[in-house]
Amino acid sequence: MYKKILVPLDGSELAKLALDQAEKLAKTFDAEIILFQVVPFMPIYGSPELVTPLIVDEKQKEAAEKYLANLTEELKQRGHKAAAMVRTGQQVAVEIIDFAKESGADLIIMCTHGRSGITRWVLGSIAHKVLTRAETPILLVRSKG
């Protein structure tokens, strides 16, 4: 049923909670786990007449690549097929959705803080944006906190 399971991560322990579910489903369906992280662009502030250019924090990108490489290796040592990808972009949810399509992912598994009401409105929710916009099926793992 599932051949490729996409797990978007942001480096937090909360996001890693989704890996437990991904491993269980990957084992059941002999699926590949694809770990994915988006490193956001950083604006450069300067002269007001210039359009604000965007740059990538290379140290943050390298840290993300190392983080995912370590997790990928751990998954492989536990007998899973695993791969990792780091991308840069302004809109994390859009990057997740686009990569899910491009990679042929059958399922996206991600964790949510479980916020609602004004907190979600103020802070936004990447999980909610992915849930409402993606064509790929999604499994949300709710945090216990």
Q: pLDDT digit string (tens) for 11-30? A: 888 889 999 999 999 999 99
CA 109 to chain centre: 9
Average pLDDT over residues 29-38: 97
Please give the pLDDT value at position 94.
Answer: 94
pLDDT tens-digit map of 47-84: 555 555 556 678 889 999 999 999 999 999 999 999 99
pLDDT above 70 (res 9): yes
Nearest to 84 by CA among 1, 139, 11, 2: 11
pLDDT above 50 (res 143): yes
Please give the pLDDT value at position 47.
Answer: 53
Q: What is the pTM of this model?
A: 0.85
Please give the pLDDT value at position 57.
Answer: 76
Nearest to 105 by CA among 12, 11, 1, 27: 1
Pairing of strands 54-55, 42-43: antiparallel
**140 bridge partner residues:** 110
Please give the pLDDT value at position 41.
Answer: 75
> Encoding tokens for residue 124?
């936004």
pLDDT tens-digit map of 98-125: 999 999 999 999 988 655 544 444 345 8
CATH code assigned to 4-142:
3.40.50.620
Please give the pLDDT value at position 122.
Answer: 39
Please give the pLDDT value at position 119.
Answer: 46
